[in-house]
Structure 1
């Protein structure tokens, strides 16, 4: 995705970082929050904030992003279908290395199959143009932190049984019900 197409882009130039690093604190605008919510498939992102440092890691062109992100968002409960507010606070950490390439650049083999080779730098991200987008890193981390099946606190799932509603815990197993039916049939065990 190009930098102009990112919902929450905050690039930092890391070409001339001091040895002790550079601090950052970023916050998404209301418009950016709306776009991030659409990207992540949540009802709303009320706020998104990240802070931390970017610091060189001894080797030339290796930079560590370390910090935290905090987001307040609204999700839809998968049980009640009601919206509810969620606050997420997470560690934001990435290692960028200019000596590695984009692992997806030549990912297809001659049969068109996707092949990704995992090497010792597998946990590093490519550092291109001596820039790190800390806003995009925050959105990516927020996506990883989201519960894919959000449940409102206190929400319980109930299933309809015999026209009524009961707890999700069955009182008897389906096998016990089948055995009962079998006993009632002529010629069945008694």
Structure 2
């Protein structure tokens, strides 16, 4: 299995200017097709973004930005294409510091923002956008016809559940 990123834009942080840098990037048609396959999308018409990189300490890099995407996902009910526009902002920290090795038990605050290890070859800004896109996708896309299709199959849709939250329990009640 190949580990090469479908949308790769390497940035060497050693050349980062003192005031930081902003990079604008956009996936080409071939990269979008590969990402659509990776994320099981019907299609990915646009993936673009702006990424800002700045030093946040001696060994820390703060990477933030915004992504835009136009795509189509499969409806979880009908499998019809569901058009979507995704706009998302992100903030991430990267560090060159070696991972912490402790001989005794340590406490980790789940609310604390822990830095990710900085990859040896530098930051892959394209892969960062791809990862952020995957987090911003609707996990359960539904077409406008989804409830009608469920009703046709005799399965209650979202509207029925919202109308009476106890309807499902009523069928379990013994007379």
Per the normalisation by structure 2, the TM-score is: 0.77
**1:6–1:130 Cα change, 3 Å:** closer
**1:30–1:146 Cα change, 3 Å:** same
Question: How large is the RMSD of aligned CA atoms in angstroms?
Answer: 3.0
Compare 45-54 and 27-36 and name the one that shifted more: 45-54
Compare 27-36 and 120-129 and name the one that shifted more: 120-129
**1:166–1:130 Cα change, 3 Å:** closer
Structure with greater helix share of residues? 2
Q: Corresponding residue for 1:23?
A: 22
Match of 1:100 among 98, 101, 108: 98
Number of equivalences: 160
Q: Corresponding residue for 2:54?
A: 55
Residue aligned with 1:135, SS: helix
Per the normalisation by structure 1, the TM-score is: 0.72
- The answer for unaligned runs of 5 or more in structure 2 is none
Structure 1 distance, partners of 2:61, 2:171, is 57
Q: Corresponding residue for 1:183?
A: none
Residue aligned with 1:34, SS: helix
1:132 aligns with 2:120: no
How far residue 92 of structure 1 moved from its aligned partner, in angstroms, is: 2.4
Structure 1 distance, partners of 2:2, 2:98, is 20
Q: Is the 8 A contact 1:80 1:155 kept in 2?
A: yes
How far residue 80 of structure 1 moved from its aligned partner, in angstroms, is: 2.6
Q: Corresponding residue for 2:88?
A: 90
Structure 1 distance, partners of 2:121, 2:40, is 31
Structure 1 distance, partners of 2:5, 2:41, is 17
Residue aligned with 2:11, SS: strand
Q: Is the 8 A contact 1:15 1:130 kept in 2?
A: no
Q: Corresponding residue for 2:35?
A: 36
Q: Corresponding residue for 1:146?
A: 137
Cα deviation, 1:142-161, whole Å, max 9, x if unaligned, reads 11111221112464253458
4+ residue runs of structure 1 moved beyond 6 angstroms? none
Structure 2 distance, partners of 1:2, 1:80, is 33
**1:2–1:136 Cα change, 3 Å:** farther
How far residue 31 of structure 1 moved from its aligned partner, in angstroms, is: 0.3
Q: Is the 8 A contact 1:14 1:130 kept in 2?
A: no
Structure 2 distance, partners of 1:128, 1:52, is 17
